Structure 1
Amino acid sequence: MDLLDRATNELQEKPLMSEEVFSLNSEDGLKLQMRRWLPLSAPDRVIVTVHGLGGHGRFYASSLAPYFAPTGAAIYSPDLRGHGLSEGLRGDIESFAGYQCDVAAAVRYAKSQHPGLPLFLLAESMGTSIAINFAAQAAPDVRPDGLILVACVIAPIVTPKVDEIFRTFWYLATDRQKPALPITGREELGIRDHEFIKVLKRDELFNRRISVRFLLKMTRHMQQAARRPSTLKLPVLVLQGGCDYTVRPRPTRAFFNRIVSADKEMHVFPKAYHALLNDPDAPLVRERLQRWLERQCLTKKGF
């Protein structure tokens, strides 16, 4: 039994929250899978997640929901298009604008279910660049009240192996849309918890390959996000692993320093890796996150 199944079983045995899985149409009509966790009492805040490359919303069944839903958070976790059980091309995408549609649909729906409550966008890994670009240009009706960036990816630095370089150039010349570039195989660079590595290897929903087209569009999207700090005026929390070998803290720190918001925090966990919410230091990460959420909610209430 893996961590995700264990979290589901524990929820059934000791319900501290409710869980629901349903479909939601994206802004362009594409069907998304959505997970929702609600506290047993009335929520006082909303969290919408944006998962990373290859991932899906079910990850948060063990890493987020059991800790934050019972304390008052309504949590919405969509599978982005082409991920998990959502519709869309797997390992390939025509435009990253599609992800903006997915986030907008999730935020719009969550706001409709909880009018007046503060809504926070929590993004992880590749999802952080999606969330940054979304928050920077969101219309007022889908604008989040705060942005949480976990293992911020605006400048990935994993050095590709020689065979990976040759494979990339081969498909660049022959078939840019074929999901042939592996994104797994070096999990030890980003994950310190060996149990979570086993979970990923057994996860049938996890995307393991992307196309050259996806890689090129993702790179441009990250570059666009890296130019956004001067437009981020909402509260921002950045959580970063000090031993993240996928994205080093230095470019993230430089990005954070350029954010114009007067309400911003950054915390680096010296021994943590890229998968912060599934790291041995995850309890410390959650503590910082909970503290920040409590402060934001008090601020919204006028205290």
Structure 2
Amino acid sequence: MPHVREHVVKGTHGAIAVREWPRPAPRCLVLLVHGYGEHAGRYGELAAVLTGYGAAVYGPDHMGHGRSAGERVVIEDFEDVVTDLHAVADRARAAHPDLPLILVGHSMGGLIAARYAQRYTQEVSALILSGPVIGTWDLPGRLLALDEIPDTPVSPSALSRDPAVGAAYAADPLVWHGPMKRPTLEAFVRTLETVARGGAAGELPLLWLHGDDDRLVPLPGSRAGVERLSGGRLTEQIFTGARHEVFHETTKERAHTAVIRFLDAVLPH
């Protein structure tokens, strides 16, 4: 694994903890945008693949997640998370000016990355979405209809067919293992609508990766959102039998290869 540096960036609601996986003389910058309840530190293996390719990689913990400030898993407005992510991008660009910027967003991070691409289209060179919360996602509405949000955490077995992934997730003290919070669910609903209204993110090259056995963020719901966001430069790879986390699946090498091939195709040589 590559060496990891740690930074703190001033966020909209407090300190944002950022991991940097450095690369001498990088050819591009990558922002890793993690999902709900987790943290950027779970993506060290993907970061190693990307630094091996030639990227300097930065991964913030969103507000209320990981080592960042805020009430656990409470996000009242995803626009603030996008603003925080932009501050991290500014930090990366200050260290490495004039390099293409690629966003890799997983699950909730896919929603954040999609909205970032809409707000800052001219600053992004490519977008990679893994099991993204985009398009139609019924879970927030179902939970908000209840008088009380059930204390049902994410099942580790829903993440990957590799039992070691679930075991590590269950034992990770930086992962949230409690119920979803009502303000965050409400913010999901609003931001799904905002991204849908925002339309295509220009002609941005987009790679979409999804497991066809994803029960947390079902593939059909994401498809409409991904196709609406794409300006026609869409590459997709659907992994048969894979669950929610294709970068932690038993076929993760295929996901890594898809990412590298995509970057080779869209970045200048």
Q: TM-score when scaled to structure 1?
A: 0.80
Alignment of 1:207-246 (within 5 A): 207-208=176-177, 209-246=179-216
Would the alpha carbon gap of residues 159 and 230 (structure 1) be closer, same or farther in structure 2, given more than 3 Å must change?
closer
Match of 1:198 in 2: 167
Would the alpha carbon gap of residues 262 and 182 (structure 1) be closer, same or farther in structure 2, given more than 3 Å must change?
same
User: 1:100-140, CA deviations, whole angstroms, 9 ceiling, x for partnerless residues?
Assistant: 12111111111111111111011000111111111101275
Match of 1:147 in 2: 127
Would the alpha carbon gap of residues 181 and 96 (structure 1) be closer, same or farther in structure 2, given more than 3 Å must change?
farther
Task: Measure the CA separation in 1 of the matches of 2:184 and 2:230.
Answer: 30
Task: Measure the CA separation in 2 of the matches of 1:198 and 1:232.
Answer: 40
Paired residue secondary structure (2:49): helix
User: 1:214-239, CA deviations, whole angstroms, 9 ceiling, x for partnerless residues?
Assistant: 11111221232234343443111111
**Correspondence 1:46 to 2:26:** no
Among candidates 15, 20, 23, match of residue 36 of structure 1: 20
Mark the runs of 5 or more structure 2 residues left unpaired by the alignment.
none
Match of 2:227 in 1: 257
Match of 2:114 in 1: 132
Paired residue secondary structure (1:24): strand
Paired residue secondary structure (2:148): helix
Paired residue secondary structure (1:77): strand
Match of 1:278 in 2: 248
Structure 1 residue 273: Cα displacement: 0.9
Structure 1 residue 38: Cα displacement: 1.6
Task: Measure the CA separation in 1 of the matches of 2:141 and 2:171.
Answer: 24
**Correspondence 1:82 to 2:82:** no
Task: Measure the CA separation in 2 of the matches of 1:120 and 1:203.
Answer: 28
Contact 2:212–2:238 (8 Å) recurs in 1: yes
Which residue identity is paired with 1:199?
A: A
Paired residue secondary structure (2:16): strand
Which residue identity is paired with 2:114?
A: I
Contact 1:229–1:256 (8 Å) recurs in 2: no
Which residue identity is paired with 2:182?
A: V
Contact 1:146–1:235 (8 Å) recurs in 2: yes
User: 1:147-198, CA deviations, whole angstroms, 9 ceiling, x for partnerless residues?
Assistant: 111111123356999xx788x4136xxxxxxxx74432x3323322211100
Paired residue secondary structure (1:230): coil
Contact 1:181–1:212 (8 Å) recurs in 2: no
Paired residue secondary structure (1:207): coil
Would the alpha carbon gap of residues 95 and 181 (structure 1) be closer, same or farther in structure 2, given more than 3 Å must change?
farther
Match of 1:248 in 2: 218
Mark the runs of 5 or more structure 1 residues left unpaired by the alignment.
1-10, 12-16, 172-179
Match of 2:264 in 1: 294
Contact 1:129–1:153 (8 Å) recurs in 2: yes
Would the alpha carbon gap of residues 19 and 240 (structure 1) be closer, same or farther in structure 2, given more than 3 Å must change?
same
RMSD: 2.4
Would the alpha carbon gap of residues 93 and 158 (structure 1) be closer, same or farther in structure 2, given more than 3 Å must change?
closer
Would the alpha carbon gap of residues 127 and 47 (structure 1) be closer, same or farther in structure 2, given more than 3 Å must change?
same
Which residue identity is paired with 1:170?
A: E
Would the alpha carbon gap of residues 85 and 61 (structure 1) be closer, same or farther in structure 2, given more than 3 Å must change?
same
Paired residue secondary structure (2:92): helix
**Correspondence 1:24 to 2:4:** no
Structure 1 residue 49: Cα displacement: 1.0
Contact 2:130–2:246 (8 Å) recurs in 1: yes
Contact 1:256–1:266 (8 Å) recurs in 2: no
Task: Measure the CA separation in 1 of the matches of 2:29 and 2:144.
Answer: 42
Contact 1:157–1:248 (8 Å) recurs in 2: no
Would the alpha carbon gap of residues 240 and 97 (structure 1) be closer, same or farther in structure 2, given more than 3 Å must change?
same
Contact 2:26–2:55 (8 Å) recurs in 1: yes
Structure 1 residue 256: Cα displacement: 3.3
Identity of aligned residues (%): 26
**Correspondence 1:156 to 2:137:** yes
Task: Measure the CA separation in 2 of the matches of 1:181 and 1:233.
Answer: 42
Task: Measure the CA separation in 2 of the matches of 1:255 and 1:68.
Answer: 26
User: 1:70-124, CA deviations, whole angstroms, 9 ceiling, x for partnerless residues?
Assistant: 2211100000111001011213233222211211111111111111111101100
